[in-house]
Amino acid sequence: MIPLNGLASGRKDFRWKADKEFFGSFGNADILDADLVAEVSAEKAGRSIDVDCRIEGTVTVRCDRCMEDLVLPVDSAAGLRVKFGDEPEGGEESTEDGREAIYLPSSDSNLDMRQVIYDYACLALPMQRFHEDGKCNPDVISRLESGISIQGTESQVNPFSALAGLFDGEGGRS
């Protein structure tokens, strides 16, 4: 939390840790473990506050290929401009200097950075999560490469066999 009431003009620095429990509080079961540090600086200038957030560390997820634990680095940054009052019509998504604009009611006395840290940490992760070549569990990889055989599938009829002669002139198009 960044206390907004009484925040003096100038820069104020904050530091938070994000671990397994942090991600669990958001219901995220994909993150098995985490060791992240969020360094945040808030600078009050007039009626707005510029917030810079840097998130660094590692998270542990399951490898999409072999299902073993995979440790991924996280290095993410966010620039926000906190403004007070109602959001203007049409919404302002970013400011002229590229910061994301956030509007808070004038009555809010704290800025909760948990959602921002969670969102930017998750966005820093790749969509496909797998070990480098040769680092996956070799037993799982050998099973994947050999294919999966299910007993009794050889005797099943191919459902597409009825379409075999469709375009060979047998009642097909002319």
Per-residue pLDDT of 49-64, as tens digits, reads 888 999 999 999 999 9
Q: Can you tell me the mean pLDDT for 154-174?
A: 68
Is 142 domain-assigned?
no
Q: How does pLDDT run across 2-53, given as a tens digit for each residue? A: 656 666 677 888 899 999 999 999 998 899 999 999 999 888 877 788 889 9
Q: Is the pTM higher than 0.85?
A: no
Residue 139 lies in a domain: no
Does 170 have pLDDT greater than 60? no
pLDDT of residue 174: 47
Q: How far is CA 42 from CA 20, 37, 60, 61, in A?
A: 26, 16, 29, 31
- The answer to whether residue 17 is domain-embedded is yes
Q: Is residue 61 part of a domain?
A: yes
Whether the pLDDT of residue 67 is over 80: the answer is: yes
**Mean pLDDT to the nearest integer, 60-84:** 90
Separation between Cα atoms, residue 126 and residue 55, nearest integer Å = 15
pLDDT digits (tens, 9 = 90+) for 81-100: 888 777 766 655 656 677 88
Distance CA 123, CA 120 (A): 5
More confident call, 162 vs 100: 100
How many Cβ atoms are within 10 Å of 74's Cβ, its own excluded? Answer: 20
Does a structural domain hold residue 152?
no
* Backbone region of residue 133 per phi and psi (left: phi > 0; alpha: psi in -120 to 50; beta: other values): beta
Which range among 28-37, 40-49, 146-155, 159-168 shows the weakest confidence by mean pLDDT? 146-155
Count of Cβ atoms closer than 10 Å to residue 86 Cβ: 9
Domain membership flag for residue 49: yes
Question: Is 141 a domain residue?
Answer: no
Residue 17 belongs to domain spanning:
2-134
pLDDT of residue 45: 76
How many structural domains are present in the chain? Answer: 1
Asked, for residue 145, whether it belongs to a domain, the answer is no
